[in-house]
Amino acid sequence: MQQDADRPRQADPAAPVGFFDSGVGGLSVLRAARRALPRENMIYFADSAYCPYGGRSGEFVRRRALAITRFLLARGAKAVVVACNSASEAALECLRPAFPGLEIVGIEPAVKVGQRLSRNHRIGVLGTSLTLGGKRFSRLLENFAAGMEVYTQPVAGLVESIEAGRIDDPRTDAIIRRNLRPLLKKGIDTLVLGCTHYPLVKERIASACGPGVEVIDTGEPVARQLRRRLRATGLLRLSPEAGWVEYFSSGEPGIVAPVMRAIMADPSLQVIRRSLQE
Ligand code: DGL
């Protein structure tokens, strides 16, 4: 039965937009949203206690996505951005009916953009096993990858490395190089970053690819989609003041906060712990 707590209380433009991911990866989307919508208030939830999602079952990720969305709604969120390809793959179809009336924006690997940009029709997609093995992703390929050679690659260890704060680190470069090798051998000229953690090391991925490969991430298109949805539903915040951001995590703030501070370039950033029961 639908509970009142699962419905947005009222359409209030001053209410925050909620974002969530398995960990710090969704900050790549939050950063783009902050640039596109500087007046919006935002809440970010990192499910660090259960990160990574990529090797987990769809059922597990769906349960976490429901619990987190319920939490964001209880904090007054007027819209939710699923800033995680794996959670979008596993949970979008159940989140929308579970929270009727809530504006939910998901994310998917930018295969359409890859198809448009590729000159030699060979593209690579990096993502988690959950995303690349999912139904949404295979539908995306059926609909938008006709005439293309698409090579997919889960990047073992990269999410963990980024979560540990090894963003500017030769060990992370080694993981990137090892995982790119099979795609580069296929002669791809376009690489789609199908996990929100990967844009946090986009420059390192681009330099490992070399100048002949265009690297695409989805932070900005998702931020534009959020702006369109807020405008269309009358929820855009028009106040002249800059918006605030609150950060929550199911993990240990002493571990998560320093990584988030580095990514957001904000030494004063604080993280509040919330375990969130399902
Ligand atoms: N950042 C996430 C994604 O976009 C999840 C990575 C993970 O937890 O495995 O898929």
- 275 CA distance to ligand 1 centroid (A)? 19
Q: What pLDDT does residue 1 have?
A: 44
Q: Does residue 173 lie in a domain region?
A: yes
> Are both 164 and 227 inside the same structural domain?
no
- The domain tally of the chain equals 2
CA atoms within 13 A on the CB side of 163: 19
Each residue's pLDDT, cut to its tens digit, for the chain (278 residues) gives: 455 666 665 678 999 999 999 999 999 999 999 999 999 999 999 999 999 999 999 999 999 999 999 999 999 999 999 999 999 999 999 999 999 989 999 999 999 999 999 999 999 999 999 999 999 999 999 999 999 999 999 999 999 999 999 999 999 999 999 999 999 999 999 999 999 999 999 999 999 999 999 999 999 999 999 999 999 999 999 999 999 999 999 999 999 999 999 999 999 999 999 999 88
**What residue owns the CA closest to ligand 1's atom 2?**
84
For residue 191, the surrounding DSSP H or E stretch is strand 190-194
> Are both 134 and 194 inside the same structural domain?
yes
Look up 51 and say whether it is catalytic: no
List the one residue out of 125, 123, 53, 121 whose CA is nearest residue 88.
53
Q: Does residue 236 lie in a domain region?
A: yes
Largest CA distance in the chain: 54
Q: Does residue 278 lie in a domain region?
A: no
- Which of 196, 201, 250, 256 most suits a substitution to test ligand 1, by most atoms within 8 Å of the C-beta? 196
> Are both 54 and 71 inside the same structural domain?
yes
Enclosing domain of residue 176: 111-217
Q: What pLDDT does residue 8 have?
A: 61
> Are both 171 and 160 inside the same structural domain?
yes
Nearest atom in ligand 1 to 56's CA: 9
> Are both 103 and 225 inside the same structural domain?
yes
Look up 195 and say whether it is catalytic: yes
> Are both 43 and 122 inside the same structural domain?
no
CATH number at residue 167: 3.40.50.1860
Q: What pLDDT does residue 270 have?
A: 98
With a Cβ cut-off of 6 Å, ligand 1 is lined by 21-22, 25, 51-54, 84-86, 128, 131, 159, 195-197
> Are both 204 and 243 inside the same structural domain?
no
Q: What pLDDT does residue 277 have?
A: 85
